[in-house]
Amino acid sequence: MGTATLEKNDSAGPVDSAENSASHLITVTLRIRRFNPEVSDEPQWQDFTLEIDPKERVLDALHKIKWEIDGTLTFRRSCAHGICGSDAMRINGRNRLACKTLIKDIGPDKPITVEAIKGLTVLKDLVVDMDPFFQAYRDVMPFLITSGNEPTRERYQSAEDRERFDDTTKCILCAACTSSCPVFWNDGQYFGPAAIVNAHRFIFDSRDEAGEQRLEILNDKDGVWRCRTTFNCTDACPRGIEVTKAIQEVKRALITRRF
């Protein structure tokens, strides 16, 4: 296991501002599972020790490591504000968004473990191959399907009908749910919670006309019936979506054909 350290005085920026904020800083160790197929077939843990404000996020710590200690550290992120869904990772053994996880909330007195989400092939460090995840998403046709002529005005929908799929509109496709699912870990063929959530979003939309088609897609041997209701997905979702409930509603719609 390798170790790298950044001392307080190594930080970039004016000396006086560093001194002003120094009292807020704590020393934390991020224990990161590194993998570089060009160097080794085996992943290995590496410790990085740095000074950071505990009110900062794990993403800030990763940036600090990448920009000031080791530029080879590889991870995805874009918005840094919980919107794009690109920085889901396992932090202290639990799927979270690095940009929404404060250092102070995850026990910084002990090494904080950071590793790639499970069930998808790791390409490098914290970056996984998302293709199977997005293929399952595409397979459920996550778009409005209607027949007939285009209406000349908006399609009306009651507030009550809108409410039926409100929760599943919040998905940001971060894969935290799918990659926390033991069924998905064992067999990557399972559509996974995120694809079902996005199917739910359209199956229960009163304006959509392809609910039956989507239900048949999810009636497949790799569809909703693989779900074992472990609730890992609901616990993992950074948007607070009731993922397991959505899966149950799709199962019920398959049995009753009412949606």
Instruction: By CB under 6 A, name the binding residues for ligand FES.
Output: 77-80, 82-87, 97, 99
Q: Which CB, 52 or 236, lies closer to ligand SF4?
A: 236
Q: Which of residues 197-226 bind ligand SF4 (CB under 6 A)?
A: 197
Q: Helices 193-203 and 211-218, interaxial angle, to 10°?
A: 160
Q: In a 3-state reduction of DSSP, which class is residue 61? A: helix
Record the tokens describing residue 132, joined without a space: 């199977």
Binding partner at 90 among ligand FES, ligand SF4, none, C-beta below 5 to 8 Å by kind: none
Using DSSP bridges, classify how beta strands 88-91 and 44-52 pair: parallel, antiparallel or unpaired: unpaired
Stretch that binds ligand SF4, among 73-81, 152-160, 167-175, 209-217 (CB under 6 A): 167-175
With CA atoms as reference, report the closest residue to 210 among 156, 144, 149.
144
Q: How far apart are CA 23 and CA 18, in angstroms?
A: 9
Q: Which residues, 6+ apart, have CB-to-CB distance to 133 below 8 Å?
A: 120, 173, 175, 178, 179, 192, 194
**Extended strands (E) in the chain:** 2-5, 26-34, 44-52, 88-91, 94-97, 112-115, 122-124, 127-128
- Per rule CB under 6 A, is residue 172 in the interface with ligand SF4? yes
Record the tokens describing residue 203, joined without a space: 């199956």
Binding partner at 237 among ligand SF4, ligand FES, none, C-beta below 5 to 8 Å by kind: ligand SF4
Binding partner at 86 among ligand FES, ligand SF4, none, C-beta below 5 to 8 Å by kind: ligand FES
Record the tokens describing residue 208, joined without a space: 């959509």
Q: Which CB, 91 or 218, lies closer to ligand FES?
A: 91
- Per rule CB under 6 A, is residue 173 in the interface with ligand SF4? yes
- Per rule CB under 6 A, is residue 194 in the interface with ligand SF4? yes
CB of 101 to ligand FES, least distance (A): 9
CB of 174 to ligand FES, least distance (A): 7
Contact set with ligand SF4 (CB under 6 A):
85, 171-177, 193-194, 197, 236-237, 239, 241, 243
